[in-house]
Structure 1
Amino acid sequence: MSRITVIGGTGYAGSAIVAEAAARGHDVTVLSRSLPAEGVPGVTYVQGDAADEAALSSVISGAEVVVGALAPRGPLAESFRDVYRSIARLADTNGARLYLVGGFSSLRPAAGAPRFVTDLSHAPAEFHHEIRAGAAVVIEDLPATPESLNWVFVSPAGGFGSYAPGERRGEYRLGGDIAVQPDGGGEISGVDYALGFVDLIEKGDHHRAHVNLAY
């Protein structure tokens, strides 16, 4: 059993990861701006702002694994990368492994090919800032962290999101920074993304790595 802190654990991806980790017997703490109407039994929920370093420190202290499940929109539209830099620094200071929920556009269609984020003509303009901010975390920010920080950035398939929750199949495919399903982005349900995500945490065999989960 691991002590896992999930930052943003009431959103779509975060809540699925929380439920999966708790079901496996892990000691899970969640930090979120608002508390859920009905939480997962056995999970400790802490209401707080991820942009508040004191709040972050209080839930990261003592954690063995820190999960970041934040999105670069709303209150975090401009501070998203700064918040993740703080989370990474605190995780490193506390000797915790860091796992981040990523986006599809940071992946590549093939070895040596540019990342999808380099051409966003397929995406509505209002999402470009959000996509670029998310990709910059794994392209620029995480590689710049100290080697002592063990991070894993977990991108889902392109068709991942609350708009297409899907059902549990109990399966997934794992790839590196080359998309498992590059054509059209593929799909994976929230619960099966969480299945793969918690498997990564439990196996612990990726170090400073960008991976992706899809069917």
Structure 2
Amino acid sequence: MSRIVILGGTGYAGRHIAAEAVSRGHEVVAVSRSVPTDAVEGVAYIQGSVLDLAPLAGAFAGADAVVSALSPRGDMEDRVLDALEGVARQLSGTGTRLGVVGGAGGSLVAPGGPRLFDQDFPEEYKHEAQVGIDSLAFLESTDASLDWFFVHPAEVFGPWAEGERTGHYRDGGDVLVRDADGKSYISGADFAVAVVDEIEQGNHHRERFTVGY
């Protein structure tokens, strides 16, 4: 059993990851600024801000993995990278793995590029995608003492396309995963399966990977 701390644990991705981890018997702590309206049974919830890590030291203690599922929206629109940098400093050299939920925009559309972000990407999603791209660049610049992984979901991913848990997904490396019809999609539950699998199996160290059907 691992101790897993999820930052942004009441959001879409965070809640799914928490639910999947608890279902496998892991100890899960979800950190968020808001009280959950649909708490997952078995998850310990802590209210706090990742921009002020001192009060959260107890939550981080003994963690095997910390997963950032922070979203650059609302008052966090321009603060996610600041938060990630603080968390990385906290975890560097501790042996605790840092997992980061990114966006599809930074995925490559073919081996060697280009990125989805550079292919007529919707203007309304560019800021959020850029935060993911900048977060990956930051992680790649960190010292080797920080063990991290970065997960790109498929192009269609979110509460508007919830889907079901099948327990299946494909790992595309750094290339966006598409099915035989060219669709790039993954349910929230199966994205969470991929994240918890990575925590358990450790297939990606200091690298990114994409998931989809």
**TM-score (normalizing by structure 2):** 0.93
Partners of 1:116 and 1:57 lie apart in 2 by 37
Partners of 1:19 and 1:150 lie apart in 2 by 24
Partners of 1:29 and 1:55 lie apart in 2 by 14
34-43 or 188-197, which deviates more: 34-43
Q: Is the 8 A contact 1:151 1:209 kept in 2?
A: yes
Equivalent position of 1:205 in the other structure: 203
Equivalent position of 1:31 in the other structure: 31
Match of 1:142 among 139, 142, 147: 139
Q: Is the 8 A contact 1:152 1:206 kept in 2?
A: yes
Q: Is the 8 A contact 1:62 1:94 kept in 2?
A: no
Equivalent position of 1:194 in the other structure: 192
One-letter amino acid matched to 2:53: E
Partners of 1:101 and 1:132 lie apart in 2 by 13
One-letter amino acid matched to 1:66: V
Q: Would the alpha carbon gap of residues 19 and 42 (structure 1) be closer, same or farther in structure 2, given more than 3 Å must change?
A: same
Q: Is the 8 A contact 1:104 1:185 kept in 2?
A: no
Match of 2:131 among 108, 121, 133: 133
Matches within 5 A, 1:1-215: 1-119=1-119, 121-123=120-122, 125-138=123-136, 140-181=137-178, 186-215=184-213
User: Which secondary structure state, in structure 2, belongs to the residue aligned with residue 163 of structure 1?
Assistant: helix
Shift of 1:93: 4.3
One-letter amino acid matched to 2:146: L
Shift of 1:39: 1.8
47-56 or 59-68, which deviates more: 47-56
Q: Is the 8 A contact 2:176 2:210 kept in 1?
A: yes
Cα root mean square deviation, aligned: 1.7
Q: Is the 8 A contact 2:93 2:145 kept in 1?
A: no
The Cα offsets for residues 143-193 of structure 1, whole Å up to 9 and x where unpaired, read as: 111101111101110001111101122211112111122886610100111
Length, aligned pairs only: 212
Partners of 1:62 and 1:141 lie apart in 2 by 25
**TM-score (normalizing by structure 1):** 0.93
Q: Would the alpha carbon gap of residues 127 and 184 (structure 1) be closer, same or farther in structure 2, given more than 3 Å must change?
A: farther
Q: Would the alpha carbon gap of residues 185 and 72 (structure 1) be closer, same or farther in structure 2, given more than 3 Å must change?
A: farther
Partners of 1:74 and 1:38 lie apart in 2 by 20
Q: Is the 8 A contact 1:34 1:47 kept in 2?
A: yes
Shift of 1:53: 2.2
One-letter amino acid matched to 2:201: K
Partners of 1:143 and 1:167 lie apart in 2 by 33
User: Which secondary structure state, in structure 1, belongs to the residue aligned with residue 87 of structure 2?
Assistant: helix
Q: Would the alpha carbon gap of residues 113 and 37 (structure 1) be closer, same or farther in structure 2, given more than 3 Å must change?
A: closer
Q: Extract structure 1 runs of 4+ deviating beyond 4 A.
A: 182-185
List runs of 5+ in structure 2 lacking aligned partners: none
One-letter amino acid matched to 2:80: F
User: Which secondary structure state, in structure 2, belongs to the residue aligned with residue 45 of structure 1?
Assistant: strand
